[in-house]
């Protein structure tokens, strides 16, 4: 059996092997992904982002279990994959002293697949490979793909560009910064979660989020959406992830958002934007590689020397490199 | 006077105008930056990164004041610029309910220049423009440039690729995650700070960082460093930023690291890596723009349609786009 066939038949080891090949951008893996691509398009990708300390990993754990719950009678009906892009996540190998116990709940279930990805490496490389890894998991038959990522800033924008539904997690007691932070993050949130809802200050955190939402409503990128259907308003959900509280409500809201994307047509618009984004990212990298491979590599080094001597500015250097190529 | 001349003469408004042009990647600004480039190379760029809630902005504020302190007798001797890449920073406009008071200490001093940059926008765009903005501030005569950034992950790696000295801030009470997080972040830290050193748990945070440092020593990218000089070991500094405590010690350690970079020759190696990185980022973007401008734009759209229909995988599409171009 070929690698794609093995993956379509449910071979987890083959899948793990493919994901490694994709992460390393090996030709073999890229070829296999090409063969598998026709089998993609049925998974729903959920991005989960939040600062360290918000209880994100615990929430992802419980959410994976909740989404896995089989209502269809088919035990393979709701297979769930978790991609941990966060080096601090207990799902990833990065945790030195972290709590590894949490993920044990998931590890025994063959319908759940966990993959951790380091967030090191070349600029943009992570978003590129995360997208490809999602596709492989999609083809392998995982109907839910949870992508866990950390922090605030570029990483979240990247998650949003890959996910169908983006969840932003906050928690009380994270300091003023976090609240203000939401100004940037709200743009990408489809669902907001206030985790640790039992802690003092949770109600305050929720009010801050709702106020921020009110002041800076999400930018609607859903261009082709049906005007008869009102735009999606990100709901704010309270959870206590450590006790599993609020998880079923969160699951219900995710299903609602999935349904909204289907009904309104904005799911299609997002899918198109996602593909354009991915294609551009791939092109950017390939064009650079091709450029440096064709005898421009020496010219590149000459330009670096000139820039080092302040005899040439980087922008000028790029212009010259491009005109002579 | 031309814009570059205005900037060299110390015109702050002209500088602000140029930075806007650079952020928007306007041809006029790029040209001006080209003229200014020969005047760059004397600033020391300090990246400051840390999760929300670590007191990063307060620390940057005090550090800017400390670096500004003029020991040379020349009141313009130590001009300091702050670039806030963090949307949650009170320096940036993103703060909705944040504490804006902190930055007032700095605002009255003409030797201090503050610039906030939103972290939205295209993938990699931020790192690209942050580098260019640093160059403009360098040419404008700021001898210290502090770049404040948030979170964990890609953003930090990008800061490290721009800065001469990278400071990573932690604080007690940030949860388990944060500690484990350091595994990834330690790779880029030249100096570690435990802020809020008066809070319970500070000693524990410090021990965790030292343990993590011990277990995963920073990857030395300082290839050309003089072997007679021992490699730099990131020190761990305790501070109480709200009271200005530990700031002078931090300043001293930054000066030590600056001195180390000069003596060991690894400053030169880093400068080369930084320039290569910047040049590649610029090339990546320009090559894509050129590619899409030359009648490939229609082919690009055709490929997007094929990918949407799952008739073509993105990697295959890129291969086809590149062979026919």
Q: Report how far residue A109's alpha carbon sits from residue A43's, in angstroms, rounded to the nearest whole number.
A: 19
More confident residue, A240 or B312: A240
Same domain, A76 and A100: yes
Cβ(B68)–Cβ(B248) below 8 Å:
no
**Which CATH number fits the domain that encloses residue B92?**
3.40.50.300
- Position B215 in a domain: yes
- Residue pLDDT, tens place only, A277-286: 888 888 988 8
Long-range contacts of A125-129 (CB under 8 A, 24+ apart): A125/A285, A126/A85, A126/A155, A126/A158, A126/B154, A127/A158, A127/A161, A127/A162, A127/A281, A127/B123, A128/A278, A128/A281, A128/A282, A128/A285, A129/A22, A129/A23, A129/A25
* Residue at a domain's end among A264, A294, A314: A264
- Position B121 in a domain: yes
**Lowest mean pLDDT, pick from A1-5, A108-112, B96-100, B220-224:** B96-100
Which residues in chain B have Cβ-Cβ distances shorter than 8 Å to A280? 288
Helix, strand, coil distribution of chain B in percent, nearest 5: 55, 10, 35
- Position B269 in a domain: no
**Could B96 and A215 be called an inter-chain contact, meaning their C-beta atoms sit closer than 8 Å?**
yes
Q: Report how far residue B59's alpha carbon sits from residue B246's, in angstroms, rounded to the nearest whole number.
A: 10
Q: How many CB atoms lie within 10 A of CB B217?
A: 13
CA distances in angstroms from A197 to A54, A172, A202, A261, B177, listed in the order given: 11, 8, 5, 28, 19
User: Residue B101 pLDDT > 50, yes or no?
Assistant: no
Query: Which of A18-27, A115-124, A290-299, B2-11 has the highest average model confidence (pLDDT)?
Result: B2-11
Same domain, B197 and B101: yes
Would you call B166 an interface residue with chain A, using a CB distance cutoff of 8 Å? no
**Lowest mean pLDDT, pick from A68-82, B24-38, B192-206, B244-258:** A68-82
- Position A249 in a domain: yes
Q: How many CB atoms lie within 10 A of CB B22?
A: 23
Same domain, B105 and B129: yes
User: Residue A185 pLDDT > 90, yes or no?
Assistant: no
Cβ(A315)–Cβ(B282) below 8 Å:
yes
Which residues in chain A have Cβ-Cβ distances shorter than 8 Å to B277? 123
Give every strand in the sheet of B80-84, ordered side by side.
Answer: B112-116, B80-84, B144-150, B44-50, B165-170, B191-194, B236-238
Q: What is the pLDDT of residue A205?
A: 86
| Sign of the dihedral defined by the CA atoms of residues B294, B295, B301, B306, in that order | negative
- Position A269 in a domain: no
**Element housing A166 (H / E):** strand A165-170
Same domain, B190 and B51: yes
Same domain, B243 and B320: no
Same domain, B217 and B301: no
- Residue pLDDT, tens place only, A259-306: 999 999 888 888 888 888 888 888 988 899 888 887 678 899 999 999
- Residue pLDDT, tens place only, A3-54: 999 999 999 999 999 998 988 888 899 899 999 999 998 999 999 988 777 8
| Sign of the dihedral defined by the CA atoms of residues B260, B266, B272, B274, in that order | negative
Q: Using 50, 70 and 90 to split pLDDT, how confident is the model at B210?
A: confident
- Position A6 in a domain: yes
**Could A314 and B278 be called an inter-chain contact, meaning their C-beta atoms sit closer than 8 Å?**
yes
Q: What is the largest CA-CA distance in chain B?
A: 70
Does this complex have an ipTM over 0.85? Answer: no
Q: What is the pLDDT of residue A91?
A: 47
Same domain, A28 and A101: no
**Could B151 and A51 be called an inter-chain contact, meaning their C-beta atoms sit closer than 8 Å?**
yes
Same domain, A11 and A140: no
Same domain, A117 and A127: yes
* Per-window interface: A 169-208 vs B, CB < 8 A: 174-185, 187, 208
- Position B168 in a domain: yes
Q: Report how far residue B55's alpha carbon sits from residue A178's, in angstroms, rounded to the nearest whole number.
A: 11
B52, B161, B178 member nearest A177 (Cβ): B52
Q: How many domains does chain B have?
A: 3
**Mutation for B interface: A299, A315, A319, A324, most B CBs within 10 A:** A315
- Position B272 in a domain: no
Domain containing A312: what range? 281-324
Same domain, B159 and B224: yes
* Residue at a domain's end among A214, A235, A264: A264
Same domain, A241 and A148: yes
Same domain, A229 and A290: no
């Amino acid at each position: 059996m070929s690698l794609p066939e093995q993956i379509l038949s449910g071979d987890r080891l083959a899948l793990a092997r493919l994901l490694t090949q994709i992460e390393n951008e090996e030709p073999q893996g890229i070829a296999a992904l090409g063969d598998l691509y026709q089998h993609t398009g049925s998974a729903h990708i959920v991005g989960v982002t939040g600062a360290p300390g918000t209880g994100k990993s615990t929430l992802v754990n419980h959410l994976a279990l909740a989404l896995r719950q089989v209502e269809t009678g088919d035990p393979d009906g709701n297979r769930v994959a978790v991609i941990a892009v966060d080096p601090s996540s207990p799902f990833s190998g990065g945790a030195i002293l972290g709590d590894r116990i949490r993920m044990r709940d998931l590890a025994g279930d063959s319908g759940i697949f966990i993959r951790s990805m380091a967030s090191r490496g070349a600029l943009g490389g992570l978003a590129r490979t995360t997208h490809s890894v999602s596709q492989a998991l999609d083809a392998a038959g995982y109907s839910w793909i949870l992508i866990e990522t950390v922090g605030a800033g570029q990483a979240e924008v990247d998650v949003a560009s890959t996910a169908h539904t983006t969840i932003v997690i906050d928690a009380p007691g994270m300091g003023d910064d976090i609240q203000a932070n939401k100004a940037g993050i709200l743009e990408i949130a489809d669902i907001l979660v206030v985790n640790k809802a039992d802690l003092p200050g949770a109600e305050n955190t929720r009010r801050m989020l709702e106020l921020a939402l009110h002041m800076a409503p999400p930018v609607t990128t859903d261009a082709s959406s049906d005007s008869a259907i009102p735009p999606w308003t990100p709901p704010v959900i309270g959870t206590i992830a450590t006790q599993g509280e609020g998880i079923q409500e969160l699951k219900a809201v995710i299903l609602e958002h999935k349904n909204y994307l289907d009904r309104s047509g904005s799911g299609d618009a997002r899918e198109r934007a996602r593909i354009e984004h991915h294609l551009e990212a791939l092109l950017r990298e390939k064009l650079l590689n091709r450029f440096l491979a064709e005898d421009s590599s020496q010219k590149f080094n000459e330009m670096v020397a000139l820039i080092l001597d302040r005899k040439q500015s980087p922008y000028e250097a790029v212009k010259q490199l491009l005109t002579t190529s």
